[in-house]
Each structure stands twice: as C-alpha cells, then as structure tokens.
Chains A and B, each alone.
Chain A
Amino acid sequence: MNESSGPAMIEMRGVTVAAMRDDSLAVVEGVNWLVLPGQFWVVGGQQHSGKSDLLMLAGGLMTPAGGDCRLFGCETASLGEGQLAERLRAGFVFQGGRLFDRMTVTENIALPLRYHQNLNSAETALAVGRMLELLELAPHADVTPANLSANWRSRVALARALTLRPELLLLDNPFSGLAIRHRQWLLRFLDQLWRGHPWLDGRPMTVVVTTDDLRPWQSPDRHFALLHEKTFVPLGPGQDLASHRHPALAELMAEVLDNNH
C-alpha cells in the first residue's frame, strides 16, 4: 500500500453534483468523499450516472451545486488564477481524449509545457521526446489525432495530462473504446504510476478512475465506490467486489459478463 497520511487531495462534504450541460439538473447528491495521497480510487456507475460530472467537479473543472468541495485544500468554487499551482497538481484525462485535432500528437503533448514553462521549440522537443517514448507514441509523433485509433488517442491524452508531472491523475472511463491489449497496457502503466514510476523519480501518484466496467480494476489495494440512483456509495478499500451485495454492483458485474460473452 502506498497510502500516506497527509492532507486530502480531494475532499467533498455534502456535495451536490450538477450536470455539465445543464447546471440546474442534479445528477449526484450528498457526496462525502476523501481521496488521500497515494490512494487508487475506482468509481463505477452505469452510463449517465454522473461519473464524468463527479470527476470534473473533483478536478476543479466545475463548481458544486451544493456542499463543500476542495482540491488540495482549495475550494473548487473559487479556483481561479491565484490557485493555478493547485490546479496543475492534478492531471485530467477526458473520455475520448478531447485532443486538439488541428495539432500533431507532439504539439498536443507539448502544449501545457509550452504554455506554463514558456519553452521554445527545441526545449519542448527534448521534453516531449521522453514522454513519446514512455508511452510508445514515437511512431505517431507527427500525426494529427484525427488519424489515430481510439487506442492511441487515449495514450496521447494520458501523455498530455502527465506532461506537467501531476501528483493526482483523474481518468474518465479510460477503457472506453480500447482494445484488450491497450487495456492491459493501461492497467500496467497506471499501476506503475501509482506505485512510483522511475519517470516520476519513484514518487507514487494518486489515481482516480471512473468506469462502467469494474472487473478489470479489481485489486485489494484499490478503493471502490459506486454511483447509483444519484447517490455516491463508497464500497471501501481492498475488498473483493464479489462479496458485496449492492444491487448496482451486481448489475455492473452482470453487464460485464454479458459483454464478455
């Protein structure tokens, strides 16, 4: 276990999560959630259960419709330019990547570096080269994302989120549209990041993922939670998911089994 005691990275108390597209619509209510340094959280839920909205709120990209939500101790409702350093401690990988299709893969990955560190082209190429190798993206460096499959687009999005070496990584349904081989690679890679990747000088990274497919994530070291009927249900750490009796969990597992057949 990597967990260390320390101030919570994400802290939600009585939070109401509104829908991104319609802030008058509450999708999850009464969320109480603490993400501590070194934890690996997996939040499961059916489609349209509010997983993406919850994660965007956790990452400071939305404000809560009610309650108190903090990212690295800062209220997300007041996250402004003054708290930019806090925001950059969290990396966010959107479902589908949300890459900039007018830029090449290299330019996508380099963008945060060029903006925040004002690097010129030569300095950027050096910094991005390592990332391209790490994520096996070097052969696609000069391609635009529109010409890549979902598998590689997801890696580019991951590389872009990791460029600034965040302490907390939030991934929204990262397995969506991925082939088995790429799922396995991603699981291994996230596990390495969580345990302390050499690229991060061995510093463990805190990871939060949302998913509609819980089974691949089963591990005694991870923390699980469910979104069901507008409520956030923590399942606790290190549990064997099969032993839980929550009806939503049974539905998710059954769906996975159906999909596999």
Chain B
Amino acid sequence: MRHAPLPKSYSDFLGRKLFLFLLTVQGLGAFALITLGVILRKYKVAGNLIHPRMRQEISRSGVALLPMFLFVALALGFLIVGQAVTTLAKVGASSYLGSTMVIVVVRELGPLLAAMLVLARVGTANVIELGTARALGEIEALEALGIDPVHYLIMPRVIGMALGIFSLTIYLIIGALSSGYLFAFLQGAPMTPGDYFQQIAQALNWLDFVLLALKTLAFGFFIAIVTCYHGLAQPLRLEDVSRVTVRAVSQGVIVCVAIDALFILLYLVS
C-alpha cells in the first residue's frame, strides 16, 4: 500500500528544523571544545584578574542562591520526601526507605532541580549580560585589547557554574532529606532520626558519590556552555537578546534532560 507523500511544506518544515538542530549541535560542540581547550591551556594565565572573577562566579552561582535553595529544600522535603516517608511507614515498607530516597532525591530530583534553578537564575543572566555586551560591541573591544573573550568571560562562568551546581545539589539533598524527616516525624512516623539516616547511608555506595559529582559538574558545564554560546557566539542586536534568552533556556532544559538520561543509563549499567 502506498502512502501519500507528506505535504511539501510539512517536509520542508521538518527538514529545516532538523538542519537547524544539527547546526546548533555543531555550534555548541565546537564552543564546548574551544572552552575546554581554553580552560586547560590558560587556567593560570592572568590569574590576578581571572581568579577573582571565578570566585565571583562561584559566589553568584552558589553562595548567592543558598537562601532560595534552603526554601526549595524545605518545600521538597515537606511535599515529597516527608509524604514518601510517611506512606512507606504506613504500608510497612520502611525497609525500602533508604533506596527510595537515594534514587528519588540523591540521584534524580536533587541534581536536576538544582540545575533547573541555576539555569533559571544564573543562566538567563548569562545570556542577557553576554548578549548585551555583544550587541554593544564590548566583545570587539576586548579583542582589540588582545583579551580572549572565552578566557575572560566564559571560563569563569563555566567553572563557577559547575562548582556552584555541585555544591548547591549537596545542600539541596541534605536539606530535603532533613526537612522530609521532620515532616514525617510531625506526622507520627515511627522512626528515629538515627534509623532514618542510617538507612539512607546504607543505600548509598561510592558510585553514587562519583556519579553525583560528575552529573552535577556536567550540568554546570553544559548549562554555562549553552547560555554563553547563545549570548556570545553570534552577532546580536539588542532587540535579539530576549529571543535568544528564551531559546537558550529551552535548549538548556533539553541538554539537562539529555545528560540526566545518559546518567540513568550509567546507573543501570553499573
């Protein structure tokens, strides 16, 4: 049986989208490799100028977000962890508590939620700042001064965001697990804090720590790459900045989900 061909406009649309997707992947890949090369070759260059900028970025992507993360950790604990603890206790499945918490909070929800929040708070700021700098010709001004824009503008952001998401994920996990127990305790779950944390600790193995570190660092690296790429890598006019910001956030979410899926595979294989 022969199928009628897709309408030409529809196939054109799909083809165009696929072509643009491949172009974006190529651009992001090249930008990631260039940035990685600059980090490896120039980490120590102009340390008196670049290293304070790195600390500033770590503060912006980490320390400055602590109050918000404390709030989110409490909410996550009360809304999800606490209810899960209470329900497991009610159905007599408390022995599964540790492994459930490790899968839900440590492996999945903690890192992904931290990445999304940093993308929303700092990633958008990255695109707007760099896009505006690009539109106002500040990037050409840096080049005229012999300053590598990737070294001066991107490297601190990438390192700051990678370390920021790593640290914030740890805080988020600890905060969510603690507030979750508090919620369960208030609801009368028959479990001491010692039992609760002991179960979680027993469910964790060394691979969880290694993959958690790798996953959060990857989230930070790629969120910074995607947002900086859209802000910096193409010529922009001021009126383009808002459109590019929306696109960068969408692609940031897709990249995070893709990384998450990759790590799920790694967990399953290991």
Question: Beta-carbon contacts of B24-53 to A below 8 Å, as 1s and 0s?
Answer: 000000000000000000000111110000
A54–B141 CA distance with the chains assembled, in angstroms: 16
Residues of B with C-beta under 8 A to A161: 144
* B137 touching A94, Cβ below 8 Å: yes
Question: A residues 91-146 with Cβ under 8 Å of B?
Answer: 92, 94, 96, 98-100, 111-112, 114-116, 118-121
- Distance between A72 CB and nearest chain B CB, rounded to angstroms: 13
Given contacts A21-B235, A94-B137, A118-B46, contact A111 B145 (CB under 8 A): yes
Residues of A with C-beta under 8 A to B144: 59, 61, 92, 94, 161
- Pick the contact of B148: A81, A98, A164 (CB < 8 A): A81
B197 at the A/B interface (Cβ < 8 Å)? Answer: no
* B140 touching A94, Cβ below 8 Å: yes
B143 at the A/B interface (Cβ < 8 Å)? Answer: yes
Question: Beta-carbon contacts of B147-175 to A below 8 Å, as 1s and 0s?
Answer: 11000100000000000000000000000
Given contacts A81-B148, A88-B146, A115-B147, contact A100 B141 (CB under 8 A): yes
A153 at the A/B interface (Cβ < 8 Å)? Answer: no
* A114 touching B46, Cβ below 8 Å: yes
A56 at the A/B interface (Cβ < 8 Å)? Answer: yes
Q: How many residues of B contact A (CB 8 A)?
A: 18
A179 at the A/B interface (Cβ < 8 Å)? Answer: no
A195 at the A/B interface (Cβ < 8 Å)? Answer: no
* A61 touching B147, Cβ below 8 Å: no
- Specify the chain B residue showing the minimal Cβ separation from A84: B146
A186–B152 CA distance with the chains assembled, in angstroms: 31
A84–B49 CA distance with the chains assembled, in angstroms: 18
Residues of B with C-beta under 8 A to A96: 137
- Pick the contact of B137: A98, A112, A120 (CB < 8 A): A98
- Specify the chain B residue showing the minimal Cβ separation from A110: B49
- Distance between A65 CB and nearest chain B CB, rounded to angstroms: 16
- Distance between A238 CB and nearest chain B CB, rounded to angstroms: 30
A21-B235, A98-B138, A116-B146 known; 17 other A-B pairs, CB under 8 Å? Answer: A61-B140, A81-B148, A92-B144, A94-B137, A94-B141, A98-B136, A99-B141, A100-B141, A112-B145, A112-B146, A112-B147, A114-B48, A114-B49, A115-B146, A115-B152, A120-B48, A164-B145
* Interface set of B (CB-CB < 8 Å, partner A): 45-49, 136-138, 140-141, 143-148, 152, 235
